[in-house]
Structure 1
Amino acid sequence: MTQMAVTPMAAEAARTDSEFLSTLCGRLRPDAVIVEPTALRTYECDGLTGFRVVPRAVVLAESADDVRQAVLTCAEFGVPYVARGAGTGLSGGALPTAEGIVISLQRMRRIIEVDPYNLRAVVQPGVTNVDITSAAAQFGLHFAPDPSSQQVCTVGGNVAENSGGAHCLKYGFTVHHVLELEAVLADGSVVRLGGANREQVGYDLLAAFVGSEGTLGIVTKIVVRLVRNPVAVHTLCADFPTITAACEAVTRIIAAGIVPAAIEMMDALAIEASEAAVGAGYSLDTAAALIVEVDGPAAESKVEFDAVNQICRDTGTTKIRIAGDAAERAVIWRGRKAAFAAVGRISPDYIVQDGVVPRTSLGEVLSRIAEMAAEANMRVANVFHAGDGNLHPLVLYSEAKGQLERAEELSRDIAELCVDMGGSLSGEHGIGTDKACSMPRMFSESDLAAMWHLRGAFDPKGLCNPGKLLPTPRLCGEKPGVYVPHPLEASGDIERF
């Protein structure tokens, strides 16, 4: 029998790993730590499935103390960690590290309180977005941020990415609806940011935390702002013969001083996919469709809706469908919210990109994206928040046909095009792993240095969600993915640092 020599360094590494896992398991419930290799693969990626890394272990936290014990153990042993909610993120923000652990918050799903008098709710991070609205509905209230994945995405993830949704045009993003956070920092300390009142003195650390993509700490409790349901809601779906005409309608609506609750756009490819999935009644023979919703006081919203209707006609709409009641309105929205997932019906694989451009540049940018797609011999579907210029191009490809690298390159080029047009790399999906290397396209060295200083103040050892948001030499010089050890490493003759 051949015996493999074990070097002292490899033996010490194995001992340290065993000691770390033993300590972690000892501080938590017996069933709270997953180490079985097959089970770990459940956590190897988020919604950006092109990047996959199997973590060292997964902690199934059920309380803030579970999170704290896991973080304390990681700090003690110098082990990196990544917080994870439902895993619906689209930028690789919850991608694990092979050396680290995942701290899952999905079991922390309790709605602690709904306070209709102060228009707020207190929730744990594993509560789904839509569950807050469901709990508040009896009081005539709702939680305004409404990403398309709101049925399954968690509020903790919304906080990490500063999620928006269709109605963020009028009501704002997650940051505008979070009053207070409880969070565990990298040293295991528990802090509270914000407060019951919206006006706080001093530096706005709450706003810095929202949208930090899990790099500053792990949120364990959230106080969110609730909004009263509008008295009247009017919704239409308008077809346009060209994308340019639809973009012109968007510009004229906002220029008229009207701020609808939502203005969404879908192109022909997105409509084709959505109709195949849910049959919401969209026209299959149109180049683009606008979904516009106006809400508010009955008289005011009716005047604004009539004005929107007329603007659509003036800019060349070929068909206008007005929702006659709440049921028809729900059908129209079901088609829009199903679009991302529905694209799987027309393409085996796709990348969902996320970028922002000035609203008046929408037509020009979409034309350029079409040209870029043609040059790459690929298809791009567009379904997005037109009212605030937040694009969501979906790059369609087939990994089986070897198109992944070309799709990733086109996706990156589209994101950087948004920056070149005076916009941003992301509107709500975050930077994560996907676009960290593009950050220098948008920010100067001094800008990035300031961000590193902020991150270092919260997490000086860099253990909290490493390799995300900000560019690092390793990240930008080496594509993330499942780590394949060198044979000498596997035999214990060398170590990886």
Structure 2
Amino acid sequence: MQMPRPNPDVLMRKAELVRRLHAFLPSDSLISDPVETKAYECDGLSAYRCPPMAAVLPRSTQEVAAVLKLCHEMNVPVVPRGAGTSLAGGALPTADSLILGVARMNDVLETDYENRVIKVQTGRTNLSVTGAVEAQGFFYAPDPSSQLACAIAGNIAMNSGGAHCLKYGVTSNNLLGVKMVTMQGDIVDIGGAHLDAAGLDLLGVICGSEGQLGVVTEATLRILHKPEGALPVLMGFDSNEVAGACVSDIIQAGVLPVAIEFMDRPCIEATDAFSDAGYPDCEALLIVEVEGSALEIEEQLEKITAIASRHNPVELRKARDQDEAARIWLGRKSAFGAMGQINDYMCLDGTIPVSELP
């Protein structure tokens, strides 16, 4: 991929841009030194790099609005950035652009357990949303593999999902409302704290737009009651095709797992070497997780293992407790770091239609 050529007229205005940004931003919220801006030259897709002209780290919606209004006036491109964990180049800047990061906007603004919603600033990390409500028995469902580090802003920009999206959906299924600053610097509220908020339903346009329409600074999210329990089963097969057929049979049987994860041999070997998860020697691996009461979990796992047995698995391993469950998930949760150690691999984030699976 070839990066676009920077606009020389914009580059010539860098000094003026920095001076005008300094007029309303604290000094520690503006980064313009060429050495320091290299920290923002890429996101998780590190194969492509380009330091921005400058970077800003605002602390409020009003500061975001002021930055965007100024950049619109000066015709300076702006690249919004969450935590920079994207594998799709969503936060990749150009040499004549300004990075606008929301990492310092990470507060919980409101929690409503009766209506099962939480309002947060979008610099808050995905996992810490659950951390804010789990003591009351709630959780936030979307769980990207980078959930420890990724920000809600990036989740909204990319419409992130995760291992458990099979049952709970992706970000758009769990997003009720946003406060957003348009690229012209106008602050707008879209959606609300309820499913049927007044006004046009524009959340579907914003969620997944990769920050092209504006910068989301606050988000109202749906939180759910934590299930009584959840356990996975690990299944190894002699081929990708057999594993794919097993997945189809599980779904066709009317069983709705909370998660189904697939790994082929290169991924199995890389993750096992990286995390020592103890995965079997096989061509394809499935991790299928179910949740509910102890009785519901046992019944669902029995159905799933019975279906899997018809496909002659190399190994069937049901987790009996949370320690065994964590060990089954260990390799999968370490997949990004494991694959990143392979020199001739490029880690990307893609979606494959079910009809195109082996």
Q: TM-score, normalised by structure 2?
A: 0.94
- Per the alignment, residue 287 of structure 1 pairs with 283
Over residues 345-380 of structure 1, what are the superposed CA-to-partner deviations in whole Å (9 max), with x where a residue is unaligned?
A: 3436523241221x24411xxxxxxxxxxxxxxxxx
Q: 1:351 to 1:13 in 2, by over 3 A?
A: closer
d(CA) in 2 for partners of 1:145, 1:94: 20
Letter in 1 for 2:357: L
Q: 1:156 to 1:280 in 2, by over 3 A?
A: same
- Per the alignment, residue 322 of structure 1 pairs with 318
SS of residue paired to 1:159: helix
Report the CA distance between 1:30 and its aligned residue: 2.0
Letter in 1 for 2:147: Q
- Per the alignment, residue 105 of structure 1 pairs with 102
d(CA) in 1 for partners of 2:8, 2:46: 34
- Per the alignment, residue 157 of structure 2 pairs with 160
SS of residue paired to 2:299: helix
Query: Are 1:337 and 2:341 matched, yes or no?
Result: no
SS of residue paired to 1:333: helix
Aligned residues: 352
Unaligned ranges ≥5, structure 1 = 1-9, 364-497
SS of residue paired to 1:88: coil
Q: 2:210 aligns with which of 209, 213, 232?
A: 213
Over residues 196-239 of structure 1, what are the superposed CA-to-partner deviations in whole Å (9 max), with x where a residue is unaligned?
A: 11023553201211111100100000111001111232311011
- Per the alignment, residue 139 of structure 2 pairs with 142
d(CA) in 2 for partners of 1:114, 1:25: 35
The answer (yes or no) to whether the contact 1:28–1:69 under 8 Å persists in 2 is no
Q: 1:20 aligns with which of 4, 17, 22?
A: 17
Name the stretch that deviates more: 330-339 or 158-167: 330-339
- Per the alignment, residue 239 of structure 1 pairs with 236
Letter in 2 for 1:17: K
For the aligned residue pairs, the C-alpha RMSD in angstroms reads 1.8
SS of residue paired to 1:235: strand
The answer (yes or no) to whether the contact 1:234–1:302 under 8 Å persists in 2 is no
Report the CA distance between 1:309 and its aligned residue: 0.8
d(CA) in 1 for partners of 2:295, 2:285: 26
The answer (yes or no) to whether the contact 2:71–2:77 under 8 Å persists in 1 is yes
The answer (yes or no) to whether the contact 1:251–1:360 under 8 Å persists in 2 is no
Q: 2:357 aligns with which of 359, 362, 385?
A: 362
Report the CA distance between 1:99 and its aligned residue: 1.4
Report the CA distance between 1:254 and its aligned residue: 0.3
d(CA) in 1 for partners of 2:37, 2:342: 31
d(CA) in 2 for partners of 1:278, 1:12: 50
Question: Which structure would you say has the larger RCO, counting Cα contacts within 8 Å and 6 or more residues apart?
Answer: 1
Q: 1:50 to 1:345 in 2, by over 3 A?
A: closer
SS of residue paired to 1:356: coil
Q: TM-score, normalised by structure 1?
A: 0.68
Matches within 5 A, 1:224-235: 224-235=221-232
User: What is the aligned-residue identity percentage?
Assistant: 40
The answer (yes or no) to whether the contact 2:82–2:151 under 8 Å persists in 1 is yes
Q: Give every structure 1 segment of 4 or more consecutive aligned residues whose post-TM-superposition deviation is greater than 4 Å.
A: 10-15
d(CA) in 1 for partners of 2:314, 2:8: 72
- Per the alignment, residue 32 of structure 2 pairs with 35
d(CA) in 1 for partners of 2:350, 2:291: 26
Q: Which has the larger radius of gyration?
A: 1
Over residues 442-496 of structure 1, what are the superposed CA-to-partner deviations in whole Å (9 max), with x where a residue is unaligned?
A: xxxxxxxxxxxxxxxxxxxxxxxxxxxxxxxxxxxxxxxxxxxxxxxxxxxxxxx
More helix, by proportion: 1
Query: Are 1:183 and 2:186 matched, yes or no?
Result: no
d(CA) in 2 for partners of 1:202, 1:180: 11
SS of residue paired to 1:230: coil
Unaligned ranges ≥5, structure 2 = 1-6
Report the CA distance between 1:337 and its aligned residue: 1.0
Over residues 58-109 of structure 1, what are the superposed CA-to-partner deviations in whole Å (9 max), with x where a residue is unaligned?
A: 0011111221111011011111101111111111111112112001111111
- Per the alignment, residue 120 of structure 1 pairs with 117
